[in-house]
Amino acid sequence: MENNLVLYNTLTRTKEKFEPLNAPFVGMYVCGPTVYSDVHLGNCRTFVSFDLIFRYLLHLGFKVRYVRNITDAGHLEGDRDEGDDKFAKKAKLEQLEPMEIVQKYTLGFHDVLRLFNTLPPSIEPTATGHISEQIEMVKQIIDNGFAYESNGTVYFDVEKYVQSNDYTVLTNRKLEDMLNNTRELGGQDEKRGRLDFALWIKAKPEHIMRWPAPWSVGFPGWHIECSAMSSKYLGAQFDIHGGGMDLAATHHTNEIAQSEACNHVHPAKYWMHTNMLTVNGARMSKSAGNGFLPHQLFTGDHPLLTRGYSPMSVRFFMMQAHYRSTLDFSNEALDAADKGYKRLMSAIALLDKMKATDSKPSSFDCAATRDRCYAAMNDDFNSPVLIAELFEVVRFVNAAYDGKAKIDSQTITEIKSLMQHFVCDILGLKDDLLTQDNGSLDELMQIIINIRNEAKANKDFTTSDRIREELSAAGIQLKDSKDGTLWNKI
Ligand code: AMP
Ligand code: ZN
Per residue in 113-123, pLDDT tens? 999 999 999 99
pLDDT in 10s for each residue of the chain, 490 residues = 889 999 999 999 999 999 999 999 999 999 999 998 889 999 999 999 999 999 999 999 999 999 999 999 766 665 555 667 787 788 888 888 888 989 999 999 999 999 999 999 999 999 999 999 999 999 999 999 999 999 999 999 999 999 999 999 999 999 988 888 888 887 778 899 999 999 999 998 888 889 999 999 999 998 999 999 999 999 999 999 999 999 999 999 999 999 999 999 999 999 999 999 999 889 998 778 788 889 898 888 888 888 889 999 999 999 999 999 999 989 999 999 999 999 999 999 999 989 999 999 899 999 999 999 999 999 999 999 999 999 999 999 999 999 999 999 999 999 999 999 999 999 999 987 544 444 567 778 888 998 999 999 999 999 999 898 888 877 788 888 766 887 777 6
The verdict on whether residue 302 carries a ligand-binding annotation is: no
pTM of the model: 0.89
Distance, CA of 35 to CA of 86 (rounded, Å): 10
Which numbered atom of ligand 1 lies nearest the CA of 39? 2
Q: Is the CB of 327 under 6 A from ligand 1?
A: no
Q: Is the CB of 46 under 6 A from ligand 1?
A: yes
Which residue intervals of 36-157 are DSSP H helices? 41-59, 86-94, 98-115, 131-143
Ligand 1 centroid distance, CA of 313 (Å): 21
Q: Is the CB of 311 under 6 A from ligand 1?
A: no
Domains of the chain: 6-274 (3.40.50.620), 278-433 (1.10.730), 437-489 (no CATH)
* Residues 218-276: tens digit of each pLDDT: 999 989 999 999 999 999 999 999 999 999 999 999 999 999 999 999 999 999 999 99
Distance, CA of 429 to CA of 423 (rounded, Å): 6
To the nearest 10°, report the CA torsion of 117, 118, 122, 124: -110
Three-state DSSP state, 257? helix
Which numbered atom of ligand 1 lies nearest the CA of 246? 12
* Residues 44-57: tens digit of each pLDDT: 999 999 999 999 99
Q: Is the CB of 45 under 6 A from ligand 1?
A: yes
> Shortest CA distance to 7 belongs to which of 53, 49, 47?
53
Among the bound ligands, name the one nearest to the CA of residue 44: 1
Q: Is the CB of 147 under 6 A from ligand 1?
A: no
pLDDT the model gives residue 7: 98
Residue 433 CB coordination number (10 Å)? 16
CB-based neighbours (< 5 A) of ligand 2, an ion: 31, 226
Residue 228 CB coordination number (10 Å)? 27
